[in-house]
């Protein structure tokens, strides 16, 4: 029976930091040409209009016209992505440790799948399209309320360190969905289960209302999490196999304790084959014992042995 590997908090934290750092670096390196990103964004917008699912325009007008909606939405977009997800991970570690590795692998695997989308399909978000397309960057409009600037949700002056054309898929929606599913499955109270449904729903509205994502970006974020869920189990098996091979020390032929003791075999070969002693069942010539029964001498010896 396989024994579960002991989970250490520092090892799990290191793994998450490494994967997220690789994801962030890859996200920056995946900067596509601006023209291609704009073309991809317009293609998504045309597809939504054709399907009559263009929900970004009415939401963006609502967020732009009413600061009481737009400002909290900008704060949600800039913060919750980086607060709620780690908080849920920590909660699972502390309260549901037996589910942690599977759920962590699902999240990290989905994140790396999302990076593939950023590389293959650089996409201009609605807020960066020409003003003639009718979108307003609410984070730029309300930048005086927060720490972000007009370039991105990053702090002022650091917008150049982000890839603003990594809109497809929306991992804001993907991570929020992960949090919702985890809370729904593991939480016990109806209040937390209600939050599990509300959180990804609100985040989906926020990313569209702030003109940071298209509806199809959100759909792609859900699809990415589905792929991550499917590959979570194979990734865990691959991880266990790799760690097992790394930990298994190669057996050295000359190492002490590894070679079998052959001295007894050499002694046996020198003396000849060992024949176990057998009881004397052959009767003496003057014995009346029946064939196959011990003779008187053997019986007397046995009686003396029993008396002792």
Residue that wins the pLDDT comparison between 19 and 156: 19
In 3D space, the residue among 134, 127, 131 whose CA is nearest the CA of residue 153 turns out to be 127
In a domain, 63, yes or no: yes
Report the pLDDT value the prediction gives residue 6, as an integer from 0 to 100. 63
Query: Mean pLDDT over all residues of the chain?
Result: 80
Angle between helices 34-51 and 215-247 in degrees, nearest 10: 120
- As a whole-number percent, the residues of the chain with pLDDT over 70 amount to 71
Q: pLDDT at residue 3 above 80?
A: no
Domain-located, residue 7: no
**Does residue 227 fall inside a structural domain?**
yes
CA distance linking residue 176 with residue 161, whole number of Å:
24
Can you read off the two tokens belonging to residue 229? 């869920």
Q: Show the domain range for 102.
A: 34-243
- Residue 20: CB atoms within 10 A of its CB come to 13
Q: Is the pLDDT of residue 73 over 50?
A: yes
pLDDT at 249: 52
pLDDT band at 152 (very low <50, low <70, confident <90, very high): low
Per-range mean pLDDT, top range of 107-116, 137-146, 219-228, 282-291: 219-228
Geometric angle at alpha carbon 222, from 219 and 227, rounded to 5°: 125
Instruction: Quote the CA–CA distance of 212 and 81 in Å, as a whole number.
Output: 13
Q: Supply 268's token pair.
A: 């046996």
**CA distances, 13 to each of 16, 100, 177, 242 (Å):** 5, 12, 22, 19
Q: What pLDDT, on the 0 to 100 scale, is given for residue 30?
A: 56
Q: How many structural domains compose the chain? A: 1
Domain membership of residue 16 (yes or no) is no
Of residues 50 and 306, more confidence is placed in 50
Alpha helices in 123-168 (DSSP H): 138-141
Whether 274 is covered by a domain: the verdict is no
Structure confidence at residue 14 (pLDDT): 75
Above pLDDT 90, what percent of the chain? Answer: 53
CB atoms within 10 A of CB 145: 14
In-domain check, residue 43? yes
- Least confident stretch, 157-171, 178-192, 209-223, 263-277: 263-277
117 vs 23: CA distance, rounded Å: 12
Give residue 173's pLDDT band: very low, low, confident or very high (50, 70, 90): very high
Q: What is the mean pLDDT of residues 181-198?
A: 96
Q: Which pair of structure tokens corresponds to residue 218? A: 């959100």
Assigned domain for 97 exists = yes
Determine the pLDDT at residue 18. Answer: 80
Task: Point out which residues pair with 166 in neighbouring strands.
Answer: 123
- The reply to whether 267 falls in a domain is no
Residue range 97-119: mean pLDDT, rounded: 92
Specify the pTM. Answer: 0.74
């Amino acid at each position: 029976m396989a024994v579960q590997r002991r989970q250490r908090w520092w090892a799990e934290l290191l793994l998450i930091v490494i994967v997220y750092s690789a994801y962030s670096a890859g996200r920056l390196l995946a900067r596509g040409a601006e023209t291609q990103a704009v073309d991809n964004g317009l293609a998504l917008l045309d597809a939504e209009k054709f399907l009559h699912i263009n929900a970004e325009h009415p939401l963006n007008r609502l967020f732009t016209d009413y600061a009481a909606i737009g400002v909290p939405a900008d704060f949600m977009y800039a913060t919750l992505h980086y607060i709620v997800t780690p908080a849920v991970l920590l909660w699972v570690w502390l309260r549901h440790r037996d589910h942690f590795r599977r759920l962590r692998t699902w999240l990290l695997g989905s994140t790396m799948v999302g990076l593939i989308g950023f590389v293959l399909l650089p996409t201009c978000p609605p807020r960066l399209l020409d003003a003639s397309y009718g979108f307003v960057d609410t984070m730029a409009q309300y930048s005086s309320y927060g720490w972000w600037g007009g370039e991105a949700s990053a702090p002022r002056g650091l917008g150049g360190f982000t890839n603003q054309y990594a809109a497809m898929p929306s991992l804001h929606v993907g991570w929020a969905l992960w949090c919702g599913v985890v809370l729904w499955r593991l939480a016990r109270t109806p209040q937390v289960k209600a939050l599990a449904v509300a959180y990804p729903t609100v985040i989906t509205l926020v990313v569209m209302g702030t003109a940071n994502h298209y509806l199809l970006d959100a759909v792609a974020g859900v699809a990415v999490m589905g792929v991550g869920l499917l590959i979570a189990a194979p990734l865990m098996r691959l991880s266990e196999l790799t760690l097992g091979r790394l930990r298994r020390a190669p057996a050295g032929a000359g190492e002490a304790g590894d070679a079998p003791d052959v001295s007894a075999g050499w002694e046996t070969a020198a003396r000849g084959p060992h024949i176990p002693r057998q009881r004397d069942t052959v009767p003496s010539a003057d014995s009346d014992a029946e064939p196959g029964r011990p003779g008187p001498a053997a019986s007397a010896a046995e009686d003396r042995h029993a008396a002792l």
